[in-house]
Each structure stands twice: as C-alpha cells, then as structure tokens.
Amino acid sequence: MSGASGPLVAVRDLHRRFGGVHAVNGASFEVPAGRITGLIGPNGAGKSTVLNIVAGALRPSAGTVRYRGQDVTGLPAHKLARRGIIRTFQISSEFAALTVLENLLVAAQGLRGERLWQAALGKRYWRPAERAAVQRARQLLARFDMSAKEDEYAGNLSGGQKRLLEIMRGLMAEPALLLLDEPMAGVNPSLARRIEQYLLEECAAGLSMLMIEHELAVVERLCDPVIVMAQGRVISQGTMADVRADQGVLDAYLIG
C-alpha cells in the first residue's frame, strides 16, 4: 500500500459552507497510523463537520482528503467504509428492530449472501461465512461483557449499552481507521473508563483512531497527537502538553 510510512489521512485546506455559515474554513491536519488522534475545540468549531467529511457523509465545498496516499475527497460513505474508514455516531444509531448480534453481523464487511444473487444461491452458499461472523461477533460481545444481550433488540438497550454497541459495531467492521464522535457522551463514569480501556487496547493492537471528545482529561489519557479546532480552522496541534501551553487555544476556549 502506498503511503504506508506517511500519515493515514491527510486533510488539506478543507472548506465547508452551510448556506452563509462557514463551518469549516481551511482546516488542514494529518492523522498518523497506529495512534488515537484527538479532535477537540469549543462548540461550533467544525469538528463534527470535519469528521463527517472524512467519513464521506458530507462533501467538502473545497479542499482534499487523502487516505493512504489516495485522493478520496467526496467518495460516498459506503465506499469509504469498504476501504476501511468506519465511523460511529454521536447520537446512538443502532438498528432498533435488529438484535444486538444482528447489528454486529450487519457491520461485518464483504459478508457472503449480502448481495441478492449470493442470497439466491441458497443457505449452503452463505451459511459458513455467516457462522464465522457470528463467532467473531460473540467474541466481541464477550469482551465487552454484553453476551447476555445477544438476542435483545438493540432498540431496547440502555443508553450506555447502545454506546458500547456503537463501538462494537465499528470494531466488527475491522476498520483501518475508526472515527469516533464523542464515544463516551452521556455515559456513566465507570462505563466511560471501560470504554477508554477498550480503546487503548484496540490502539495497542494497531487500530488507528480519530476521536472527537470534550472531556480534556480523557483526551489527555488517550490521545496523541491532539488537534484543536476553533471557528472552522485548526489552531493548534501536538501533544496535549503542547496544546495546553498554546495561548491561542486558551483564548479560543475562553472566548469561544
């Protein structure tokens, strides 16, 4: 793969306007491989918009997104997902009428039988692959302590369990880059700690992540490097210590 030694994602001079609002106004940054990159900034800084653009949910008004050295600007979300960029949502996005296990199976990439012609070839054709996916999903459920909820409808889960499902679904897709939009929003402190632990384990296993997070203590523990956005621009980046020392960051947070 070209660009293996370079950054995983390189964003250049990204712009996005919504009507008269310039939500992203010339943002440039890089996401290195094998780390958890933090994306922080005051409300309205354009963090979610940037994440949506990298994930393919929004098209930029201008600028480029390169992934593994290739220009992927404006590719739709499903194509980016197939290339290994998977995102989670700030608001729980479970498939409510599917069970927890089915939610995970949907995330399995390139599963046999997901195309109509493959389905028409019959159970014997796609069952073995599905069994393997079920096994993998069960391992994930066991690791996240959710095995008891396997057959529960995802819509019936508690808020915290839905957050876990969101992350499990992301991992089930075996991404190269996981984009996390406030993965611990509205989660009780002990579960938040567990989620932190899971993310650190995944990072140690080689998964690259880009994470929007408001809790700076969490960012400090998990993220290196940290990218700070304000008013649609990247105003600072580096380690959390670098960023803390930056007067511009302080101003942005205090003044908004």
Partner 1 sequence: MSTAWQFYISTVLVYLGVDVIACWGLNLQFGVAGLVNFAFIVFQAAGAYTAAVLTLGPAVPAARGGFQQYVGGAHLPFPLPILAAGLVGGLLAALVGGIAVRRLRSDYEAMVMLVVSLIATSVATNQVGLVNGPNGLSLVPKPLATIVNLSPIGYQWLFVGITAGICVCVYWLVHVVTSSPFGRALRAVRDNEQAAAALGKNVTGLRLLAFVLGGVLAGISGAVLVEFISAWSPGSWLYPETFVYFTAVIVGGSGNNLGVMVGALLVPVAFLEATRFIPQFGPPGLIDALQWIVVGALALVFLWFWPRGVIPERRRRFPRPAPAEAEPAPPVRAAP
Residues at the interface with partner 1 (CB under 8 A): 55, 57, 76-78, 81-82, 86-87, 89, 93-99, 101-103, 105-107, 109, 111-116, 118-120, 122-123, 126, 130, 134-135, 151, 153, 169, 173
Q: What are phi and psi of 61, to 5 degrees?
A: -70, -35
Shortest Å distance, C-beta 246 to partner 1: 33
> Between residues 33 and 98, which has the closer beta carbon with respect to partner 1?
98
Q: Which alpha helices (DSSP H) does the chain contain, by range?
A: 47-55, 77-83, 100-107, 116-120, 123-143, 159-172, 189-204, 216-222, 240-244, 247-255
> Between residues 116 and 205, which has the closer beta carbon with respect to partner 1?
116
Shortest Å distance, C-beta 194 to partner 1: 21
Question: How far, in Å, CA of 69 to CA of 10, rounded?
Answer: 8
**HSE on the CB side for 176, CA within 13 Å?**
17
Shortest Å distance, C-beta 114 to partner 1: 4
CB 177 within 8 A of CB 111: no
Amino acid at 31: V
Question: How far, in Å, CA of 55 to CA of 241, rounded?
Answer: 28
> Between residues 106 and 216, which has the closer beta carbon with respect to partner 1?
106
Shortest Å distance, C-beta 183 to partner 1: 14
**CA angle 176–179–184, rounded 5-degree value:** 130
> Between residues 81 and 222, which has the closer beta carbon with respect to partner 1?
81
Question: How far, in Å, CA of 59 to CA of 33, rounded?
Answer: 24
> Between residues 137 and 230, which has the closer beta carbon with respect to partner 1?
137
Shortest Å distance, C-beta 106 to partner 1: 4
> Between residues 96 and 250, which has the closer beta carbon with respect to partner 1?
96
Shortest Å distance, C-beta 108 to partner 1: 9
Question: How far, in Å, CA of 41 to CA of 95, rounded?
Answer: 30
Pair of tokens at residue 105: 């199976």
